[in-house]
C-alpha cells in the first residue's frame, strides 16, 4: 500500500487552467482536500497509475499551488522540519505570505496555514 501511495499522482487543477502534479502520499498527508479526494478516488485517472484530479476551490492561482506543493515536498525531504519551516518563512515577502495563506486555506493544509498566519 505504501509503495502504491508513493507512486500515485494527484493533479491539482486551478481556476486559471494550470495543473500541478504532485506525489499523492506527500500532498494527501498535509492537505485535507487532497486526502478526501484520494480516499474517494476522485477524478479522471482512467487508465491507472493512481492518478487523481482535484479541483482547487477559490481563485487560487497555479503559481501559488505550485509553491505550496514545492514547500510540501521540500519539507517532507528535510531532515529537520522545524528548521526548514523557519528558513522557509524567513524567505517570504509579505505578498507571497498572503498568497500562500490563501492557497493553504483552500487546500485545507492547516499546518501550513497556522505556520503562515
Neighbours of 108 (CB within 10 A): 16
Q: What is the pLDDT of residues 59-113, one digit of tens each?
A: 999 999 999 999 999 999 999 999 999 999 999 999 999 999 999 999 999 999 9
* Predicted pLDDT of residue 7: 60
Q: What is the CATH number of the domain that holds 88?
A: 3.30.710.10
pLDDT of residue 58: 93
| Residue 12 confidence (pLDDT) | 97
* Domain of residue 106, residue span: 2-116
Number of domains in the chain: 1
pLDDT tens, 17-40?
A: 999 999 999 999 999 999 999 888
- Residue 39: what pLDDT? 87
How far apart are the C-alpha atoms of 73 and 81, rounded to whole Å? 11
Quick: pLDDT tens for 48-61. 556 899 999 999 99
What's the rounded Cα separation, in Å, for the pair 94 and 100? 10
Amino acid at each position: 500500500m505504501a509503495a502504491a501511495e508513493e507512486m500515485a499522482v494527484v493533479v491539482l487543477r486551478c481556476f486559471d487552467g494550470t495543473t500541478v502534479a504532485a506525489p499523492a502520499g506527500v500532498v494527501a498527508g498535509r492537505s485535507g482536500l487532497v486526502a478526501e479526494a484520494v480516499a474517494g478516488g476522485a477524478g479522471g485517472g482512467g487508465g491507472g497509475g493512481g492518478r487523481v484530479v482535484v479541483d482547487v476551490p477559490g481563485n487560487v492561482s497555479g503559481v501559488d499551488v505550485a509553491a505550496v506543493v514545492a514547500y510540501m515536498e521540500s519539507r517532507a525531504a528535510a531532515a529537520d522540519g522545524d528548521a526548514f519551516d523557519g528558513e522557509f518563512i524567513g524567505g517570504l515577502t509579505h505578498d507571497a505570505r498572503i498568497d500562500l495563506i490563501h492557497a493553504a486555506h483552500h487546500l485545507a493544509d492547516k499546518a501550513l496555514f497556522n505556520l503562515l498566519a
